[in-house]
Amino acid sequence: MLKTVKVWTLKWVCGSALVLLVGLLTAQGAEAKDRVPNSIFSDPAVVELGKALFWDMQVGSGNGAQSACATCHYQAGADSETRRVVSSTRSDGIIGSLGVRESQFRGISLLEKGVASATDDTSKPLDFLITGRQAPPTVESEFTHNFWDGRANNCFNGVDPGGQEGQRGLHQWSKDGGGIVPTTFLLCDASQASQAVGPPNSDVEMAARGRTFPELGYKMLRVKPLAMQTGDLADELSTTTAGHYDTMINDAFGDVLGEFIGDEAVAGVPEIRVTDSNGNRTLVEPSLTEQNFSLFWGLSVMAYELTLESYAHVQKPTRAQKKSFKRMRCDSCHLTDGTSAAHVFTGKNGKSFISTGVADASIDPGVVDDFVGRDPFEGNFKTAHLFNLPLTAPYFHDGSAADLSEMLDFYIRGGNRVDQKVKIKNLKGRMKKRDKANVIAMLEGLTDPRIAKGSGPYAHPSLQLFLDDGSYFWMHASDDPEADSKTPGLSYGETKTIEP
Ligand code: HEC
Ligand code: HEC
């Protein structure tokens, strides 16, 4: 146990040193580093803001089916409840994640004077949309190039997942008294922040088509955090003075990013579309905080996700298990301690994104640029971490393995695509009788018991989960398993298998 903790600490110390180094070496990074010390990621106010935003169902555009980040990342950070999995199966056979109903954004609607409704004004909603890939777990997603194809940029620009610098809408108070001026931001080793600003306005995952981040900011600054939910955090925020997103942003970032925060209107940027209680549409200039909402969003959600670690809380593999893991060649790509080969600091160069022939690469090409030194378009996907697998089925980017046994059978037969350039081989000749059972036991042992209990960083509010026919059920809050039991629910950490 002691050894485990030491290794973990070492991993973090190396990580922090590198974050600082990268910050010092790049000119923009130096400015960003001065503005955002690495310590913000462990600031409880930043973590609390990120957790509230991650779980808040008011973020999604709605159409009667609200959604949060957690909607697709609720169980050990993945989307694995049986009914949801069935609802997320596409006509092409890929198991993705159920997103929002297709619609066009028209405005933020103010139902009461000065109070935004939790539902946006949109065109008539059509069918539910489903993502083209499985949702990988947010737990243990730190310091990798995020997404199955690694496209979330390692350097966060405060605005979008692509990460390039340049004028992209951020504004700040100028230091020499020149009022509010356009500005840029860049912070490296922050792939989770880059990733986090993608889904909120994605017209498949969470929003009606065309909603902008300042518009989302405008709405969130006018609603009560987690107003539709109960339990951990939701109840807490309803009784504290921090229970308002602008107070929470001030508490979290007032010291380090004060020049990005303010009620003053920003001119010369796209205006916020607002629908009043009579259905009239007007345009208003965003406030400075609203205009910069994506910056606070990315940094705080990353801070929350950094708390979702399992490494130090799992059983270490036995010698027999490790031997079987090696005999099945799993260790040629995955790390035996369960961490991802794509970890920026401790991963395996050359094995972090690789082709195992899960699916037809001409349909989903995986990595499309060479940032990991791989030939693009050949079906290279991220070598996943191996934590909490019993809670996150189905497996692989297309959800094609329903359980651990099917997942291992895939490797034993040498993958699904012998016609493609694939880096795994048929294992039948080299395996011993107990190998499969040993590896399953090893993977089960790499599960963090706190997740099923909903304890520590895994405590969470209730969450309404929709199915593709428009029906829904509630996941109970971790501290109140009886709450919201109006519809059949599930308790966090319940393991489900996929129905045939
Ligand atoms: C509709 C379902 C859905 C919603 C809502 C959603 N995600 Fe995801 N998430 C996915 C899918 C699918 C992927 C994989 C996409 C890919 O690799 O191309 C993913 C990938 C990720 C990853 C990458 C993990 C890794 O190991 O690389 C993180 C982190 C993540 N999402 C966090 C979030 C956050 C934060 C939000 C809210 C802002 C969010 N997700 C909202 C479905 C969803
Ligand atoms: C050649 C490198 C390589 C080898 C060898 C390998 N893997 Fe993988 N593993 C990957 C890659 C890449 C992915 C992602 C594949 C995808 O989804 O397209 C993956 C995905 C997985 C997943 C799915 C994780 C999730 O969250 O969906 C599991 C579980 C897994 N591997 C376990 C194993 C085991 C057990 C072995 C040994 C039998 C093994 N792997 C051998 C590279 C490898």
Q: Does ligand 1 have an atom closer than 6 angstroms to the CB of 129?
A: no
Name the pLDDT band for 220 (thresholds 50, 70, 90).
very high
Q: Which residues of 8-29 are buried (b: 16+ CB within 10 A; e: fewer)?
A: beebeeebeeebeebbeebebb
The answer, yes or no, to whether residue 72 has pLDDT greater than 60, is: yes
CA 211 to chain CA mean position, Å: 20
Determine which of 76-80, 322-326, 341-345 has the lowest per-residue pLDDT on average.
341-345
Q: In whole angstroms, what is the distance from residue 413 CA to residue 428 CA?
A: 7
Distances (CA, A) of 125 to 45, 110, 463, 471: 36, 19, 22, 15
Instruction: Give the per-residue pLDDT at 470.
Output: 85
- State which ligand 2 atom lies nearest to the alpha carbon of 424: 1
User: Quick one: which atom of ligand 2 is closest to the CA of 332?
Assistant: 5
Total count of residues recorded for the chain = 500
For ligand 2, the distance from its centroid to the CA atom of residue 411, given in whole angstroms, is 8
334 pLDDT exceeds 90? yes
Structure tokens of 475? 């996941």
Residue 14's pLDDT band, with cuts at 50, 70 and 90, is very low
Confidence (pLDDT) at 165: 76
For atom 13 of ligand 1, the residue with the nearest CA is: 135
| Calpha distance 135→74 (Å, rounded) | 10
Q: Name which residue sits closest to atom 14 of ligand 1, judged by CA.
A: 135
With a pLDDT cut of 70, the percent of the chain lying above it is 86
d(CA 54, CA 70): 6
Closest ligand to C-alpha of residue 325 is 2
- Residue with the nearest Cα to atom 6 of ligand 1? 69
Mean of the pLDDT values across residues 431-444?
Answer: 97
Q: What is the mean pLDDT of residues 2-22?
A: 34
HSE on the CB side for 455, CA within 13 Å?
A: 6
Question: Which protein residue's CA is at the shortest distance from atom 33 of ligand 2?
Answer: 330
293-302, 313-322, 480-489: which range is least confident on average? 480-489
pLDDT score, position 489: 45
Which pLDDT band, with edges at 50, 70 and 90, does 40 fall under? very high
Q: How far is the CA of 152 from the centre of ligand 2 (A)?
A: 20
Model confidence pLDDT, tens digit, residues 378-398: 899 999 999 999 999 999 999
* Atom 2 (ligand 1) nearest CA: 72
Return the percentage of the chain with pLDDT > 90, whole number.
62
Which of 396, 403, 405 for mutating ligand 2's site (highest number of atoms within 8 Å of CB)? 396
Give CA–CA dist 397/47, Å, rounded. Answer: 28
Predicted local confidence at residue 239, as pLDDT: 76
Determine which of 128-137, 158-167, 216-225, 461-470 has the lowest per-residue pLDDT on average. 158-167
Cα 196 to middle of ligand 1, angstroms? 8
- Residue 70: closest CA among 228, 223, 178, 221: 228
> Which ligand has an atom closest to residue 141 CA?
1
Q: Is the CB of 135 under 6 A from ligand 1?
A: yes
User: Comparing 32-41, 165-174, 406-415, which segment has the lowest mean pLDDT?
Assistant: 32-41
**Do 487 and 462 contact (CB within 8 A), yes or no?**
no
Of all protein residues, whose CA lies closest to atom 31 belonging to ligand 2? 384
pLDDT of residue 376: 83
**How far is the C-alpha of 108 from the C-alpha of 117, rounded, in Å?**
8
Task: Provide the pLDDT for residue 492.
Answer: 39
Evaluate if residue 98 carries a pLDDT over 80: yes
Which structure tokens are listed for 274?
A: 């607002």
**Location of structure tokens 């393995």:** 401
Distance between CA atoms of 77 and 97, rounded to whole angstroms? 13
CB neighbourhood size of 268 (10 A):
8
